Chains A and B, each alone.
Chain A
Amino acid sequence: MKILIQAPEIIDIQSPFHQQQKNVLINNGKIAEIGDKNYSADRVIKAEGMKLSIGWFDLGTFIGDPGLEHKEDLESATKTAAAGGFTEIAVLPNTAPSVQSKNEISYITQNNSTRLVQVHALASVTRNNKGEELTEMIDLHEAGAIGFTDGLKTIWHTDIFLKALQYLQKFDGVLIDHPEDYWLNLFGHMHEGINSTRLGLKGMPRIAEEIMVGKNLELLAYAGGKLHFSRISSGKSLDMIKAAKKKLNVSCDITAYQALLDDSVLFDFDTNYKVSPPLREKSDIEALLKGLKDGTIDVICSGHTPHDAESKDLEFDLAEFGMINLQTFGSNLVALSQAVAWDVLLEKVTQAPRRLLNLEIPKIGVDEKANLTLFDPARTWKLDERTNFSKSKNSPWFGKEVTGKAVAVFNNSKQWIDSDIK
């Protein structure tokens, strides 16, 4: 089938067509033509005002498959990802069992060569993500694990952390760390500050993150290796990472919402805003925006963390951390584009995560495989029962109008096109 994407703006800093408005013809999974002609096609998508980039990549998506399928399974996760504009996702190992043997890897990555949304496996660093005993990381790497992390759990054990950094060097593997001091965040439910004081909730102080970033950078300097910090939330963490980048192989990501929302939204105890790391203050948002602009933050991720109503529609201190955000991620980007240029934002969602994980980076050029995302930054829509593809509904934007929506994705000779698109 031939599909013509008519007149989008191409955003791909590696492409000669970067920031040009062109017609793009896709034929049997390949980019057949890029130009100004009106190529004949079976389907035409009028895309003026839209942005065409290589397929978006989500680093660190939480799904519940295997074991917690009631939150999100592979099928719902891939549908949700496609509708959010992602052609590839790298999923966290916080499953049950955790991703710690070849079985889980092959289960997660099955059909990756043919499915629209490829699912990459991040494997556990320690057994059951407990931080105590290393997994068989070489074997997991051979089986297809693209990175190593305990996901939403911190690797608290200093010596295990050090050993992991050393061990991964055999195959240039990346250690992805969620920096969080266990004791300082214990029983914490939100950012520690004036708002946690007002709400009577135990806080999670910035230093709980910062001391772990500082400590782990020292370990990286000592051991060597490749370290990526996930879901950074504090400006001081970024300062340390920025300084370390001059001599160490270190990178980091943030969730898109972390640079948009502060903890004042928690005034009425809406558990959809209960996330980890917690939403912090306006000054932290400014520091994150600065980090996005100056390149300290390499990757932006959705932070998609689905939870069933039984884990989320509860008293605040009993509710789990996290929000779903694959489908609303694009609207987060629109909000971020007020402060950060589109090509900078999209590089952090496309090239940067693939580069970090040593994956092939798709290109926008004639005869290249079509791994593409078409995004409409002006489209207003609602995430609701009709449009939501996730099994969970824990989004602060559920039922509210947002601006910006992925309208089509292409990968592996397959495509998803928003049914509302004519």
Chain B
Amino acid sequence: MSKLSQKHLLGIKDITREDIELIFETAANFKEVINRPIKKVPSLRDVTIANIFFENSTRTRLSFELAEKRLSADVVNFSASTSSVKKGETLLDTVNNILAMKVDMVVMRHASPGAPHYLAKHIKANIVNAGDGTHEHPTQALLDTFSIREKLGSVSGKKIAIIGDILHSRVALSNIFALQKLGAKIMVCGPPTLLPKFISQLGVEVELDVQKALQWCDVANVLRIQLERQQIKYFPSLREYSLYYGITKKMLDGLKKPIVIMHPGPINRGVELSSDAADSQHSIILDQVENGVAVRMAVLYLLAGTAA
């Protein structure tokens, strides 16, 4: 079996194209497995995985937990809001306490960019970054990219527009890294205050007009407006945002070309994406969710293989 080049999955920035392809190959196999009547395989029997979520999450945590259970791992869950942890125990203490109970892998979501990198310097267990603040969300990017490949046959040369709050989005950053490694062309689009000033230096195109971005792309990955992660006001109102940056089915039908609509969820229906657009034939949002489990199974399985 081939191995990943890294012991942890901290970010897409740190892994190679070969790693990504290995994960996809493995994920494709697992996707077949989870569509069988008996969905469980014994691959991670006797491996204990802790899901440590310092930020709220429903689908990512559920997706990881399902992936772990289908691999027959033992699973423990820990959640705490960052603020309550801030008052008392440090991140390192919390994690060391959990590891003292003999945990082999840690899946962590945290509000601080670099929190899993910090942890990686201090602990031995494999770490999977399930989102670190405004930095990376590697498994989301992998499942997004996997879903594009599944839908369009390949990623190389395809035009992907990432639309919305790029500044606060770990999904955008990880997607850019992953898609670039696989040869896609990328455009980011959103209100200028939600686009990092130096984003074009990453080699992506910048567009301020949603209509033009939709016209340009094969795939539009529409991001959630991260009101919870904005420390100050970046735009005047949700009303104005939805009027000028929201995507409707009417806009998509008017393009007169095929387009794939993605969203990492949860959708603010009627804000960045109208309900009829989210539920339209263009959308692969639920495929993303399904692929999420398979991709996460692949990541956990391959990381466990690096421990030996």
Show the binding face of A for B, using Cβ within 8 Å.
186-187, 192-194, 196-203, 205, 268-269, 310, 313-318
Contacts and interface: CB of A to CB of B under 8 A. Distances in A.
B197 A192 contact: yes
B136 interface: yes
Given A269-B118, A314-B90, A199 B113 contact: yes
Contact of A318 (B112, B196, B198): B112
Contacts of A316: 112-115, 118
A315 B95 CA distance: 13
B127 interface: no
Contact of B117 (A192, A196, A268, A313): A268
B110 interface: yes
A194 B113 contact: no
Contacts of A268: 114, 117, 121
B243 interface: no
A56 B232 CA distance: 44
Contact of B199 (A197, A199, A315): A197
B198 A200 contact: no
Contacts of A203: 197
Contacts of A192: 197-198
Contacts of A202: 134
A200 B231 contact: no
Interface of B: 13, 86, 90-92, 110, 112-115, 117-118, 121, 132-136, 170, 173, 196-199, 201-202, 231-232
Contact of A315 (B13, B115, B197, B201): B115
Given A187-B231, A199-B114, A318-B112, 11 more contacts: A186-B232, A194-B201, A197-B173, A197-B201, A199-B113, A200-B136, A201-B135, A314-B90, A315-B91, A315-B112, A316-B113
Q: Which of B133, B136, B232 gathers most chain A CB within 10 Å?
A: B133
Q: Which of B86, B91, B121, B196 gathers most chain A CB within 10 Å?
A: B196
Contacts, number: 69
Contacts of A193: 198
A237 B132 CA distance: 34
Contacts of B173: 197-198, 200
A315 B202 contact: no
Given A193-B198, A194-B202, A197-B198, A317 B231 contact: no
B118 A315 contact: yes
Given A186-B232, A201-B135, A269-B118, A317 B112 contact: yes
Nearest to B172: A200
Contacts of B91: 314-315
B269 to A, nearest CB: 27
Contacts of A313: 92
19 contacts: A186-B231, A196-B196, A196-B198, A197-B202, A198-B202, A199-B113, A199-B114, A200-B113, A200-B134, A200-B170, A203-B197, A268-B117, A269-B113, A315-B114, A316-B112, A316-B114, A317-B114, A318-B86, A318-B112
B132 to A, nearest CB: 8
A237 to B, nearest CB: 19
A204 to B, nearest CB: 12
Contacts of B110: 315
Nearest to A269: B114
Nearest to A317: B112
Q: Which of A196, A199, A202, A315 gathers most chain B CB within 10 Å?
A: A315
A387 B197 CA distance: 43
B133 A200 contact: yes
A200 B133 CA distance: 8
A200 B113 CA distance: 6
Contacts of B198: 192-194, 196-197
A193 B201 CA distance: 9
A58 to B, nearest CB: 31
A268 B115 CA distance: 10
A201 B135 CA distance: 7
List the 10 closest A-B pairs by CB distance, nearest first.
A200-B135, A269-B114, A315-B112, A200-B134, A194-B201, A200-B113, A316-B114, A197-B196, A315-B115, A269-B117
Contacts of B118: 269, 314-316
Contacts of A201: 113-114, 134-135
Given A192-B197, A269-B117, A314-B118, A198 B134 contact: no
Contacts of A317: 112-114, 133
Contacts of A205: 197
Q: Which of B86, B112, B117, B132 gathers most chain A CB within 10 Å?
A: B112
Given A268-B117, A315-B115, A315-B118, A199 B202 contact: no
A28 B173 CA distance: 65
Nearest to A318: B112
Given A187-B231, A317-B133, A198 B114 contact: no
Nearest to B10: A268
Contacts of A197: 173, 196-199, 201-202
Q: Which of A197, A202, A310, A317 gathers most chain B CB within 10 Å?
A: A197
A310 B90 CA distance: 9
Contacts of A318: 86, 112
Nearest to B110: A315
B113 A198 contact: no
A313 B90 CA distance: 10
B135 to A, nearest CB: 3
A201 to B, nearest CB: 5
A186 B230 CA distance: 12
Contacts of B170: 200
